[in-house]
Structure 1
């Protein structure tokens, strides 16, 4: 009987985590990783923050170059998976080569949404997804004294705005949203980040869709939006990402907001899994699907899929988690955005001083999400409160003299 063949398509954190988990859990059969980029699998969140600021690659790589060799992984970088043949159970690479599989993991990630407006193909307009994208933005902005326009006020947009403002550039954020980060945090907490940027000299243009990029001699010179325009030497567009699911859809796999998978990351085809940004998994806690594009989701789904490729029968039910660093603000968030409707926010600490913990609390007193801002070593307790799913005393929740551990014990 021939040894099993496990194949992973993708070069990000989810793919790298799955490969690492397979080897750590004792799988010693053939393992092939097909990565479209020329790099070994790497972690993307630093591209808009630490790596963009310092070009420090040490925090990027999932594993060292030596690890892939020492663990006998057939790592094929710079190779594009063109299609899937689920009948023959093989991945067809660009150029026609086939890679057979017994178990397949789709970790193809996502791609930035492109603006379809006049002038969108001008030089000086950047998107951020890859190491090369981050290097390009840094090269264009690191000397400072540039007029930089960031389109979009989500995590990528606000993190890039903070980083390039730190280089000494004039920065304007133009966004269709009235409040930065409102989709993730709601208006109340989004305004905390808006004020942070205003305090650091970033200009915010709110509720304005981009209509056109001004261009001269092929180079972007400005951004026209509803109600006005702003000059620009550099533009960074951060208006969201779309999952790369074409290869899965073309093969007949079921696709929603991503490749539909169960809580174990299994698709409807035996032995085929999907994870990370490309997946739209069922989350057992909320009783529905919840797609996430964050760091912790890549790790958790990658590990879950790897374990189930080894027939361990596990479910991914982690509390969603993400973090950000902007100017002098560091933040961690844990919780369930789909459950936040109808909640109110309870604050613990100094909100104007941006050193606090906020809790989203249901009418019956349950904490469904929490965010610690410049307050550290509390995320474990915040997650415990969410996991308990029992009413808490809001007056004690807001009282900084009451240790969070006591509240967890009371819940």
Structure 2
């Protein structure tokens, strides 16, 4: 019988796990230990609405009042130094706390460019990072964004919305090539250029020099860019130190099963730090997405209480850039063909990634309905007619045969 549950990390997963535990009737003690001083909040708005406006309305995930009412203790601004699973203890700087079960939800830290540091060099992971960056996103400012992945692209779009001039440096020949492929990556490139971004492909940072009046970037092509700030958006590294110190299996994240269980009994992991086995995909994946964090945290909380629950739904995420809503569902490392319905030129389309006649992933611009249908097709893994996928009048859900679970 569990009486004490500790969540290591104070973000999205902590909030979802705590709410799930209470909804499922757990009446024991819940302790959330987070390194940040802020109570749990949403991270997706940090590169979009919150970065643009600073409006924190709706950002909070767990209020201090809810925690008090539900007997959830928030210990903020504290770091967990280690775990002793055998003894059921979580070690802190000023002692330790008891834990019958532990959820590690430590997220990660932004990857940095070697030797690129300084007051004018920014990353975006926390609310304070967003506050610091917003202060320099202003009309007349020049911002260099390194990396055209989703974070870099969202920062570029927000910076343009605030009137800044933006130069984006991307090492690949198209943005997001490894996820979307060359053709759809080129669509993202066109979106940025249509909004005035100076997007430079196959170009990286050679050196950075910071002065009292600004920062100078010299690129791999020998070009000089005088700017007010540099934003490094080249991904993140999972914060696995706590797990490693406890002898828990780690491989580009904490390795967990479909229920969030680690290699050590009574220790679970979820969110950006977890590399979880996905039954639908048949492999371990680490997906740094809001929806995946929610689902795996809920699965882990249920499993702690003896209700083994798998996260088996297709991965899904969204990105708002300029006036376009982009969504991606599924996971496709390779594909046989890409079938498109709608107009790519008008940024009004859904592209389906097929392998063996089965939809493995889908990418859409302003087509949330199509993505909802694609998620059903991906989950069922049934063969589909490519011509029907192309037909804008076809109902995607009708492609799922009756009786297919």
- 1:132 aligned residue: 128
Q: Is 1:96–2:89 an aligned residue pair? A: no
Q: Out of 307, 314, 326, which is 2:321 matched to?
A: 326
- 1:310 aligned residue: 305
- 2:11 aligned residue: 12
CA deviations on 1:213-260 (whole Å, 9 max, x unpaired) are 12224x642211111221111111101100000111011111001111
Q: Out of 231, 238, 249, which is 1:243 matched to?
A: 238
- 1:56 and 1:383 mapped to 2: Cα distance? 32
The structural deviation recorded for 1:34 is 0.3
Seen in structure 2, the aligned counterparts of structure 1 residues 376 and 264 have a Cα distance that, compared at 3 Å, is closer
Tell me if structure 1 keeps the 8 A contact 2:335–2:353: no
CA deviations on 1:60-98 (whole Å, 9 max, x unpaired) are 2223332111111011111111111223221111x2320
- 2:105 aligned residue: 107
Q: Which structure 2 residue ranges, 5 or more long, are not aligned?
A: none
Residue 376 of structure 2 aligns to a residue whose secondary structure is helix
| TM-score, normalisation: structure 1 | 0.95
- 1:42 aligned residue: 41
| TM-score, normalisation: structure 2 | 0.96
Residue 264 of structure 2 aligns to a residue whose secondary structure is coil
Q: Is 1:346–2:339 an aligned residue pair? A: yes
The structural deviation recorded for 1:409 is 4.5
- 2:170 and 2:350 mapped to 1: Cα distance? 27
- 1:360 aligned residue: 353
The structural deviation recorded for 1:8 is 0.4
CA deviations on 1:123-177 (whole Å, 9 max, x unpaired) are 2111100000001111111x32101100111111000000001111110001212
- 1:126 and 1:373 mapped to 2: Cα distance? 29
Count residues with an aligned counterpart: 402
- 2:361 aligned residue: 369
Counting only pairs closer than 5 Å after superposition, residues 39-118 of structure 1 correspond to structure 2 as 39-93=38-92, 95-117=93-115
Q: Is 1:257–2:252 an aligned residue pair? A: yes
Tell me if structure 2 keeps the 8 A contact 1:213–1:220: no
Residue 306 of structure 2 aligns to a residue whose secondary structure is coil
- 1:401 and 1:263 mapped to 2: Cα distance? 36
- 1:146 and 1:355 mapped to 2: Cα distance? 31
Counting only pairs closer than 5 Å after superposition, residues 286-301 of structure 1 correspond to structure 2 as 286-301=281-296
- 2:193 aligned residue: 198
Residue 57 of structure 1 aligns to a residue whose secondary structure is coil
- The root-mean-square deviation of aligned C-alpha atoms, in Å, is 1.5
